[in-house]
Structure 1
Amino acid sequence: MNKKVVLQDLGLKDYKETWDYQEQLFQDTLDIKIRNRREELALETPNYFLFVEHPHVYTLGKSGDIDNLLVSEKQLEEKGATFYKINRGGDITYHGPGQIVGYPILDLDNFFTDIHKYLRLLEEMVILTLADFGLKAERSKGETGVWLDVGTPFARKICAMGVRASRWVTMHGFALNVNADLGYFDMMIPCGIKGKTVTSLNVELGKKEIDLDEVKQKLQAHFKKLFAAELIIKKAKV
């Protein structure tokens, strides 16, 4: 089993370009697995973890409801935002500057074949990272992602999650609000969940801005430990 994970930070990158890059890595891994099965080979499959920030964009999962987007296409253009229907699970999600988006493209045959465990470990990675900043984050029963003040009238989501998997190969991932402009969340019903609010790390800490690189360092440290992975940092080529 290959537990090496190539880590790439793509910086600020267009959503569609990044999606295409994910699809390329995802398909290349699937092709190796298919060839291994057909030809009875044992070729090693790669693993990747992409960090990225996106310009303002809304994405709707395959089971999502378009009615959860509360504005018209023209209003999106006026806000400088784009919209895509995509092939992950979950409902509607916003990505934008000040948000750390993580896309692990892993062959879970290299780690464990349990998609629920995979999601819980991604959540745990974020929960542990937020604990490093003094916040008590947790899961909300029946809802993916990471929340604060669960079970109270003040419950708010700080990290959204939505993944796709085929033959135990994953893509898409999580979006952690660090210095996010929360006004953009008013243009949708986040993840299709009514009556819940969204927050950002800088708001919770009462700071104007949090160092994104510091948060990424903590995320990757917890990822490495939780997945017993070896991280290999490579300069992004997209």
Structure 2
Amino acid sequence: MNKTIQFLELGQMDYKEAWDYQEQLFKEILDIKIANRREESATETPNYLLLIEHPHVYTLGKSGDMANMLLNEKQLEAKGASFYKINRGGDITYHGPGQIVGYPILDLENFFTDIHKYLRLLEEMVILTLAEYGIAGTRSEGETGVWLDVGTPFARKICAMGVRASRWVTMHGFAFNVNADLGYFDNIIPCGIRGKAVTSLNVELGVEKVNEDKVKEKLLNHFANLFEAELRIVDRNVHIF
């Protein structure tokens, strides 16, 4: 079992470009697993974690409802945003500057074979990070992601999650609002959930801007500990295949 995870920080990247890159890594792992089964071999499968920031974009999951997108094509263009229907679970969400987006592309057979545990650990990573800022993040039953003040009229989501998995290989992941422009969420019904707000770490702390590099350090530390993994930094300019 390979518990080393190759970590790439890719900076700001177009959503489609990042999606294509995920698909390449995802296919690489699947191809190794299929070959291992066919040839009765035991080639080690790699694991990856990508951290990215996207330009303004809305994405709709495969089970999502198009009615939750409140803008037409011209309005999207006016806001400088793009839109994609994609192959993750979940409904509609927004990505943009000031948001830390993470795409773990893992062979869960290197860790554990439980997709629910996988999602709970991603949530726990964010909950532990929030706790370091004195904020009590929590889960909301039946609603994947990380929330604040669940069970009150002030419930609000600070981190959305949506994943795809095949043969225990994952892709897509989480979107943590750190310094996000929350106005962009007004153009959708986030995750298809009516009547609940969205928030960002800087808003909760009452500051103009949170140091995103420090947030990333905390996330990565908790991610490695929760998955009992070693993160190996890979330069974004290095071809990793």
TM range (shorter): over 0.9
Unpaired runs of 5+ in structure 2? none
Name the structure 1 match of 2:73: 73
User: Is it true that 1:35 corresponds to 2:18 in the alignment?
Assistant: no
With structure 2 as the length reference, what TM-score do the two structures score?
A: 0.98
Name the structure 1 match of 2:217: 217
Name the structure 2 match of 1:169: 169
Give SS of 1:44's match.
coil
Name the structure 2 match of 1:100: 100
CA distance in 2, matches of 1:68, 1:155: 19
Q: Deviations over 1:60-102 (max 9, x none)?
A: 0000000000111110000000000000000001000000000
User: Is it true that 1:9 corresponds to 2:13 in the alignment?
Assistant: no
Give SS of 2:146's match.
strand
CA distance in 1, matches of 2:93, 2:36: 36
User: Is it true that 1:122 corresponds to 2:127 in the alignment?
Assistant: no
Name the structure 2 match of 1:236: 236
Unpaired runs of 5+ in structure 1? none
1:234: how far off?
A: 1.0
Cα root mean square deviation, aligned: 0.6
Give SS of 2:170's match.
strand
1:119: how far off?
A: 0.1
Q: Aligned letter for 1:40? A: E
Give SS of 1:121's match.
helix
Q: How many corresponding residue pairs?
A: 238
1:236: how far off?
A: 1.2
1:111: how far off?
A: 0.1
CA distance in 2, matches of 1:97, 1:235: 22
Name the structure 2 match of 1:139: 139
Superposed structure 1 runs of 4+ greater than 2 Å apart: none
CA distance in 1, matches of 2:164, 2:233: 24
CA distance in 1, matches of 2:20, 2:213: 25
1:207: how far off?
A: 0.4
With structure 1 as the length reference, what TM-score do the two structures score?
A: 0.99
CA distance in 1, matches of 2:102, 2:159: 11
CA distance in 1, matches of 2:182, 2:56: 12
1:217: how far off?
A: 0.3
Identity score, percent? 76
